[in-house]
Amino acid sequence: MYQLDYKPPYDWKWMFGFLAGRAVSGIETVSETHYCRSFALDNHQGLLTLVPDEAACQLNVTLSAGLQPVASEVLQRIKQLLDLDCQPQTILESLGDLSAARPGLRLPGCMDTFEQSIRAILGQLVSVAMAAKLTSKLAQTFGEPLAQDPDWRLFPTPERLALLRPEQLKALGMPLKRGEAIIHMARLMVEGKFAHNRPADVEHGVKVLTTYPGIGRWTANYIALRGWQASDVFLPDDYLIKQRFPGMTPAQIRRYAERWKPWRSYALLHIWYSDGWVPSTSEPSELVNGKITGIQ
């Protein structure tokens, strides 16, 4: 067993609830106290199980034998998934009252950027539950069984998805254009043209993503948010965010959110999960040289 340290506060109930709502049957199982999934890295594959020890501020990690040769890299991926390297006090001080209700929120990342990107595409214009169901169908149809335990599946590789025809994906219950987007992204990954790691210029990376077929601004930003675990991403076009900012255009919302730089990703989470939150209007705010001044 391995132990990974983290700095409190950490809202494990919220994090595991977030992951549970998106869990893919055959790949992940999540309860209030543990997370388990199949995973493949290079030519190694196996299961990983995560159990928090809140008293010790540690995450207990169990890796099956197949993942032991790449344990160091797998542990790093787990840190990215659960945002374990986060320095919460710095963020809380920066966000102020916005983070007061839920100080233990962390930014959910991923174990694999390609996988998360495909899941983001599958989640377009459908509910969270439907996205998980579609992803499960994809894994069951095109993912390989885990060698040590065939009851588990591995997420389909880019190589496998790159060889598909859009009609094969449409048969799973998605629009043809969405299938085309998945195949195109898989081919980019195979060709080494997909930014698997967070680029130095995230904003430019998002713009590049929007040039891919089937990748709009929301999906590109969501890939940056979770796939790259970028800490300064905001989604002004998001349906719920627009509800939280009534009467404001996406451009106005984007300008308003500049007050939370460089932690806009965390601000986004807090706004998403804070029922009844409304923008502050106690002081005037105005745009000066492209930036909001006033309430900070």
Catalytic residue numbers, as ranges: 238
Task: Give the contacts of 86 (CB within 8 A, at least 6 positions apart).
Answer: 6, 7, 106, 107
Instruction: Say how many C-beta atoms besides its own lie within 10 A of residue 137's C-beta.
Output: 19
CB 147 within 8 A of CB 33: no
- State the residue for tokens 């065939």: 150
Token reading at 186: 């898989």
Instruction: Give the separation between CA 296 and CA 294, rounded to whole angstroms.
Output: 6
Q: How far is CA 60 from CA 23, 50, 149, 238, 264, in A?
A: 20, 6, 22, 35, 30
CB 45 within 8 A of CB 87: no
